[in-house]
Amino acid sequence: MSGREYPARPLVGLGVVLLRPGGLDGPAVLLVRRGKPPNAGAWSIPGGAQKLGETAEDGARRELLEEAGLLAGPLLLAAHVDSITRDADGAVQYHYTILDFAGRWIGGEPRAGGDVTGAVFAPLDGLAPYALWSEAHRVVLAARLLLDV
């Protein structure tokens, strides 16, 4: 078992809701397709685990660069998510407390990197095909309100 699977305590996860105002399809949000468990193959907000000695914002920026090759302008804390996955016996298999930041896109095109298999800007009014978790929708809305996008 890895240190992330069946942890002794919750792990800190970091995410970035990267918003791109305007564009041909209107405002968009960056989504990545997960390449590893939990949620392999699912679309989500880019992010991952915080490293020891790393600030939350620095970790969020690192994950954004690793997973999508993009940078963000100023980041604001938008929301937190408790992600708890239990196995068939009810034991906690994964437990993340995720801090999600909101930021604006400053340029470049997304490219999948790190442990993701896809990276796209998805139109905010066309998220249904990505089958996002309800918490992802909540965090995207919080970021939109915070950044007025």
Q: In order along the chain (149 residues), what is the average pLDDT of each group of 10 residues?
A: 84 97 88 92 96 98 98 97 96 96 96 96 96 97 96
**pLDDT for res 2:** 54
SS3 call for 137: helix
> How far from 60 is each of 24, 55, 100, 130, CA to CA, in Å?
28, 9, 8, 22
**pLDDT for res 38:** 79
**pLDDT for res 24:** 76
Q: Are strands 28-34 and 116-123 parallel, antiparallel or unpaired?
A: antiparallel
Question: pTM of the prediction?
Answer: 0.92
CATH 3.90.79.10 matches 11-147:
yes
**pLDDT for res 18:** 98
- Domain boundaries in the chain? 11-147
**pLDDT for res 1:** 45
Residue (of 117, 101, 141, 142) closest to 31 by Cα position: 117
**pLDDT for res 123:** 96
